[in-house]
Amino acid sequence: MKSFKSPYVMIDTPALLIDQNIMMQNLRSMINKAEESKVNLRPHTKTHRMPELARLCLNEGAKGIAVAKIGEAEVMAENGIKDIFIANEIIGEIKYNRLKALHDKIEIRIGVDGKEQIDQIEKVFVNTSKPLEVLIEIEVGENRSGVIEDEALFELGQYILSKKNVVLKGVFSHEGHCYKASCAEECIRLARIAHRRTVAAAELLRTMGHKIDIVSIGSTPSLMHGGIAEGVTEIRPGTFILMDVGQGSAISDFSKCAATVLSSVISRPTAERVVLDAGAKALTSQNRTEGICTTYGYGLIKNSNNVRLSGVFDEHAVLYNRGFREAIAVGDKVEVIPNHICPTCNLYEKAYLVTDGKVIKEIPVLCRGKSQ
């Protein structure tokens, strides 16, 4: 077993680390999957919120990027990203005025699932030279946003046809409920249903006269386990590039986890208890309690024999493991694989890109906090 003591003793803690070699393997693996299936890869950058990693994906062959919020899109555009899809619904004229400013500079699309959004676009974009392109979100089982019934999809499609400043470009979905699948086979089955539902929605809209160019799906665990349905043109995984405990659990392999939180041992108060300096403000307090992405505890010690954090306070993490306690000393540094990397990245101003015990560079998390 590798030592669970981190070689990055030169970095103060807590700190966000990204292993370059592992990250590049993850990225190239997903690019190969997209190329084999003849679909575009549009990574969802809400995972890392770093324009530098977004540009890396584009340089390696990604078509564009997906984001969750206008704030992210604004920062990405400022840093040279010219093809952005906001895979989310937007409401409020304040936001649409910001979107209009972006629309004048780059190629940008957004998700919609109701007439309210269409009405606001039509009002704000009235004096633009080109209409705003949108994708209708299809609800495929996650029980979140998106159009559910074909009748509602037909009505929304008809409504868009009546507008001047909105053009329907495609459909998208997110099979996030696959995270709760009981096993890999169930994950694949749920994903197939979700993909077919999304493709069928595109076909329905085409019969109405819409030119549907984009059929976009996305979920890291389903794409790692299964294939891509015929008729899909684009995939939008996000977590795949860095991975985390949830995704590692889904494939029973934590060696693909590129991101860790470096933490110092600050106390060993009992024969079993160890306290680290990375708590909820460094790792979040999330965990998943069911399905293939179940996490157990609040983080996994890298290279350990399944040593998990038992709990997190604001500034402390606590674990109980006699063997770990006997092998570690106060002042030693360990790396914790976060349960969920997306909110973890948002806690940091920068990440350290590392490999083979060396620090390569610091990468600013420029979209940190850009949730408006």
SS (H, E, C) the chain: CCCCECCCCCCCCCEEEEEHHHHHHHHHHHHHHHHHHCCEECCECCCCCCHHHHHHHHHHCCCCEEECCHHHHHHHHHCCCCEEEEEEECCCHHHHHHHHHHHCCCEEEEEECCHHHHHHHHHHCCCCCCCEEEEEEECCCCCCCCECCHHHHHHHHHHHHCCCCEEEEEEECCCHHHHHCCCHHHHHHHHHHHHHHHHHHHHHHHHCCCCCCEEEECCHHHHHHCCCCCCCCEECCCHHHCCCHHHHHHHCCCCCCCEEEEEEEEECCCCCEEEECCCHHHHCCCCCCCCCCCCCCCCEECCCCCCECCEECCCCEEEECHHHHHHCCCCCEEEEECCCHHHHHCCCCEEEEEECCEEEEEEECCCCCCCC
Cα–Cα distance measured from residue 216 to residue 203, given in angstroms and rounded to the nearest whole number: 13
pLDDT in tens, 217-254: 999 999 999 999 999 999 999 999 999 999 999 999 99
Same domain, 92 and 176: yes
Do 204 and 134 lie in one domain? The reply is: yes
Asked whether residue 278 is domain-assigned, the answer is yes
Task: Indicate whether 207 and 251 sit together in one domain.
Answer: no
Lowest average pLDDT, out of 1-10, 160-169, 311-320, goes to 1-10
Q: What is the mean pLDDT of the chain?
A: 97
Count how many domains the chain has.
2
Output the six-digit token pair for 295. 């996490």
| pLDDT, tens only, 162-197 | 999 999 999 999 999 999 999 999 999 999 999 999
Asked if 38 and 336 count as a contact pair (C-beta separation under 8 A), the reply is no
- Asked if residue 233 and residue 90 are part of one domain, the reply reads yes
Residue 65 inside a domain? The answer is no
In the listed set 237, 260, 285, which residue is the last one of a domain according to the structure? 237
Residues 208 and 105 both lie in one domain:
yes
pLDDT tens sequence across 70-108: 999 999 999 999 999 999 999 999 999 999 999 999 999
* CATH (domain of 178): 3.20.20.10
With vertex at residue 259, the alpha carbon angle to CA 339 and CA 351, rounded to the nearest 5 degrees, is 120
Q: Please, what is the Cα angle at 17 between 284 and 317, to 5 degrees?
A: 35
- Here the tokens at position 141 are 């089982």
- Domain check: are 201 and 271 in the same one? no
CA dist 80 → 48, 52, 64 (Å):
17, 10, 11
The average pLDDT across 250-275 equals 98
Give the pLDDT score at 166: 97
- Check whether residue 111 and residue 195 sit in a common domain: yes
Beta-ladder partners of 116: none
Are 265 and 300 contained in the same domain?
A: yes
Question: What is the pLDDT averaged over residues 35-58?
Answer: 98
Give the pLDDT confidence score for residue 371 in this predicted structure: 97
Looking at residue 180, its amino acid is K
Question: Residue 138 belongs to what domain range?
Answer: 82-237
The domain spanning residue 306 has which CATH number?
2.40.37.20
Q: Provide, rounded to the nearest whole percent, the portion of the chain with pLDDT above 90.
A: 98
Residue 63 lies in a domain: no
Q: Give residue 127's pLDDT band: very low, low, confident or very high (50, 70, 90).
A: confident
Residue 283 has pLDDT above 80, yes or no: yes
Q: Is 331 left (phi over 0), alpha (psi -120 to 50) or beta?
A: left
Residue 153 has pLDDT above 90, yes or no: yes
Q: CB within 8 A of 67, min separation 6: which ones? A: 44, 45, 46, 73, 76, 84, 85, 86, 87, 367
pLDDT above 80: residue 1:
no
Give the percent of the chain with pLDDT over 70.
99
Structure confidence at residue 265 as a pLDDT band (50, 70, 90): very high
Whole-number pLDDT of residue 109: 98
Rounded-to-integer distance, Cα 258 and Cα 251, Å: 15
